[in-house]
Amino acid sequence: MVFLPLTLVLVTLVLAWYFIGKYNENYWKKRGVAFYTKNKVVGPMWDFMTSQKALFEIFGKLYKEYRKEPAIGIGQFLTPSLFVIDPKNVQQVLSGDFQSFNHRGIESVEGDTLSDNITFMNGPRWKLMRSNMTPLFTANKLKNMYYIMDKSAQDFVQYLKNNSKLQRSDLFETLMMFCNAAVCGAIFGIGSESVFDTPFLKLAKNLSQSNILVRMKFIFYTLSPKIYTALGFKLFKEHEEFFVKSIGEVLKRRDQENVKRHDFADIALAIQKNGTMKDRTTGYEIEPTTGILSAQALFFFTAGVEPCANAIYATLYLLSLYPEILEKVHQEIDEHFEKHSNNITYDVICDLEYTEKVLSEAMRIFPPIGFLTRQCVQNTVLPIGNIPVEKGTKIFTPIYDIHHDPELYPDPEVFDPERFSKDRRPNDDIYMPFGMGNRTCIGARYAKLQVQAGLVHVLRNFTVQPIAKNQWKKLKFAHDPLNVRLRNIGFELVPRGIK
């Protein structure tokens, strides 16, 4: 009696899988677009689930296989989806046709307070929140905020000196501590306690984990937000109580202190005191509750910890392999420390031209994230290939693969900081470690400044050298849905004896 219903269910599922796959294939075939047939229903997500490769590596394989195609169709259940390959089409999606592609391709989850942040917002809600958050990242604000980053970097160097075993152990985790401290200080104004041993560091580690549950939740969320919600998944619910309470306490304390520190807490407190946020053009309104401001704080926290640690880690790794470049960096940093009596200000950091080129090249080779997503909000056409794109179509655009394309970057695997000299600097439409266009990362300038502060103070006090057994290994990356995270390399910090 039980066998027949189970058989019917199984046959129904198999037929549904088959017809969804045929629908996806025919959808793009009718539009003259090549289609990835290996899995017609969930496309590259299937490869990600059944391998140990990062998702950007899966897309990278498609990029190489279909390099001469302007874009290819991929399976995403019943959502038309494109992996855009041609750089001009990528630029059109991310920047040129913002009216059609201003949706991130992701949305906040109902009942998940911390997911209602600027990354997951879209339309007038995103526009209004961005306009209120942007003042935090002006050049003047960053200049006023830099002293906090610099102090965090100095404290971090002293912490490394006091704990010599950290100079050789898992340096990524160690760098996470610095980035956590810098964010807690510069964004939240938290720095009176031991910044290298706080609940926020534990939170950062939890958010950066990529275990099987995290990967499955990401896949369901990407493939179908409706299925994701139906299964009762939340993105950040487990961190909500701690984080909202913490930010509430920060705002309350800042209000009582009545001291300006030019950080996120100042902006958030001002927004709350001004009352309802309102877009004068559309009339759209947002109430500045502690919950929604905590959601924005979580965005700055997640953007300022793991991606920044990735950038510093990758830069130090590359410098360990290229001692002649490392020597030039040391020379430039030493000259500026001596010239300015060890007082490294915002202006001094901005004057380190060669160090900045090194960082830019490191983020070309190892961008913090490997690809971007968008969703079409009105019917349009991609120029290369004349591809019609209907409203609701999901878009995936490569970052890592464009940065490693020999047609765009000659000898792309070579670490060459002079690519970013004034006469050779790449076009903005092919260099995008923080994204591109109006939806580029709002905190990009902050993140880069934080990374520079960490690098400069670490390299003033330490040199870096590879661990012999790991040198020149074939690189492997963490099985991560978003980040470009090196996992099989090793290098160590060696004190320089600078006083």
Greater pLDDT, 173 or 56: 56
The model carries a pTM of 0.92
Percent of the chain with pLDDT over 70: 92
Query: What pLDDT score was predicted for residue 339?
Result: 95
Greater pLDDT, 299 or 215: 299
184 is in an annotated binding site: no
Q: Is residue 127 part of a domain?
A: no
Greater pLDDT, 20 or 184: 20
Query: What pLDDT score was predicted for residue 4?
Result: 66
Q: Average of pLDDT values for 35-45? A: 94
Q: Is residue 348 part of a domain?
A: yes
pLDDT at 192 > cutoff 50: no
Query: What pLDDT score was predicted for residue 468?
Result: 66
DSSP per-residue letters across 176-218: HHHHHHHHHHHTT---SS-TTSSHHHHHHHHHH---HHHHHHH
- pLDDT classification of 204: cutoffs 50, 70, 90: low
DSSP-assigned beta bridge partners for residue 286: 277
Query: What pLDDT score was predicted for residue 194?
Result: 47
Q: Are 224 and 79 in contact (CB under 8 A)?
A: yes
Neighbours of 187 (CB within 10 A): 26
- pLDDT classification of 381: cutoffs 50, 70, 90: very high
Q: Average of pLDDT values for 127-151? A: 88
DSSP per-residue letters across 31-87: TT-EE--SSTTTTHHHHHHTSSS-HHHHHHHHHHHTTTSSEEEE-BTBS-EEEE-SH
Query: What pLDDT score was predicted for residue 320?
Result: 93
Q: Are 375 and 390 in contact (CB under 8 A)?
A: no
Residue 458 sits in a domain whose CATH number is: 1.10.630.10
Q: Domain of 489?
A: 86-102+165-224+304-495
Q: Distance between CA 79 and CA 352 in Å, rounded?
A: 47
Neighbours of 14 (CB within 10 A): 10
User: pLDDT per residue over 320-377, tens digit each?
Assistant: 999 999 999 999 999 999 999 999 999 999 999 999 999 999 999 999 999 999 999 9
Measuring CA to CA, which residue among 359, 333, 439, 475 is closest to residue 103?
439
Q: Which amino acid is at 42?
A: V
Phi, psi of 93 (to 5 degrees): -70, -45
Q: Is residue 266 part of a domain?
A: no
Query: For the chain, what is the domain count?
Result: 1
pLDDT at 481 > cutoff 50: yes
DSSP-assigned beta bridge partners for residue 371: 398
Q: Distance between CA 368 and CA 362 in Å, rounded?
A: 10
- pLDDT classification of 414: cutoffs 50, 70, 90: very high
Q: Is residue 160 part of a domain?
A: no
Q: Is residue 357 part of a domain?
A: yes
Q: Is residue 217 part of a domain?
A: yes
Q: Which two tokens stand for residue 429?
A: 């439409």
Q: Is residue 276 part of a domain?
A: no
Q: Average of pLDDT values for 8-24? A: 88
Q: Which two tokens stand for residue 199?
A: 């609940």
* ∠ CA 43-49-55, rounded to 5°: 70
User: pLDDT per residue over 252-309, tens digit each?
Assistant: 888 888 877 778 888 888 899 999 999 988 899 999 999 999 999 888 888 888 889 9
pLDDT at 199 > cutoff 70: no
Q: Is residue 137 part of a domain?
A: no
Q: Can you count the helices (H) and strands (E) in the chain?
A: 19, 11
Query: What pLDDT score was predicted for residue 191?
Result: 55
Q: Distance between CA 445 and CA 17 in Å, rounded?
A: 45
Q: Distance between CA 194 and CA 76 in Å, rounded?
A: 46
Average pLDDT score, the chain: 88
Q: Average of pLDDT values for 449-471? A: 88
Greater pLDDT, 243 or 29: 29
Q: Average of pLDDT values for 232-252? A: 85
Greater pLDDT, 471 or 248: 248
Residue 332, CB-side half-sphere exposure with 13 Å CA sphere:
18
Residue 419 DSSP symbol: G
